[in-house]
Amino acid sequence: MSNNTETSNSNSKAPTHIAYHVREGKDKGFWTKIGVAWAHKDNKGFNIQLEVAPLDGRIQLRVATEQK
């Protein structure tokens, strides 16, 4: 089955984005890394690989950087 949307090869490239689960706390949000994402070559979508799926809060995608 073919797909018209070209995607990055997630096995050979580092992820372009990091997925975080964010829960609001009293003073600030609590961020937990839950997965990664690769931008499509046409920059119109993502392949997302989550290790967990949160039941509450939100998922935030951030550009992956060299910093940890």
pLDDT band with cut points at 50, 70 and 90 for residue 21 = very high
The answer, yes or no, to whether residue 26 has pLDDT greater than 60, is: yes
Average pLDDT, stretch 15-21?
Answer: 96
Question: How high is the pLDDT of residue 10?
Answer: 47
Q: What is the mean pLDDT of residues 14-31?
A: 94
Read off the pLDDT of residues 29-53 as tens digits, 9 standing for 90 and up.
899 999 999 999 999 999 999 999 9
SS (H, E, C) 28-54: CEEEEEEEEEEECCCCCCEEEEECCCC
